[in-house]
Structure 1
Amino acid sequence: GTHLFNSLAELRDQLPNVIGDIPGKSLLIGMEMVTDKESRKPFPVEKMNAI
């Protein structure tokens, strides 16, 4: 869980305008995808589906 969280945190640092937050603990971790970190406007559904 810690390794996964740290890896996602590194990805968040590389993509600060896309990844808004990484909530969770242990292996139950989520990742909030945003178009604007300040307003936390969600990533468009069509782009999420492409991922």
Structure 2
Amino acid sequence: MFFRNPDPARINEERLQTIRLAVCLHVYQLLIWKANKPRIRSRSPLTWTRSL
């Protein structure tokens, strides 16, 4: 796909988007873990969506 030199600003923007997505996923996992920490027995995704 990249036959010519790609735009450095575009590469930076894509890298920022990827980092932002990873951070959002990490925060989401932390929220789920904190919501499930008091009651570890209920580990189904339905209780995850209910607790959030």
**TM-score, with length taken from structure 1:** 0.34
Larger Rg: 1 or 2?
A: 2
**TM-score, with length taken from structure 2:** 0.34
The structure with more strand, counted as a fraction of residues: 1
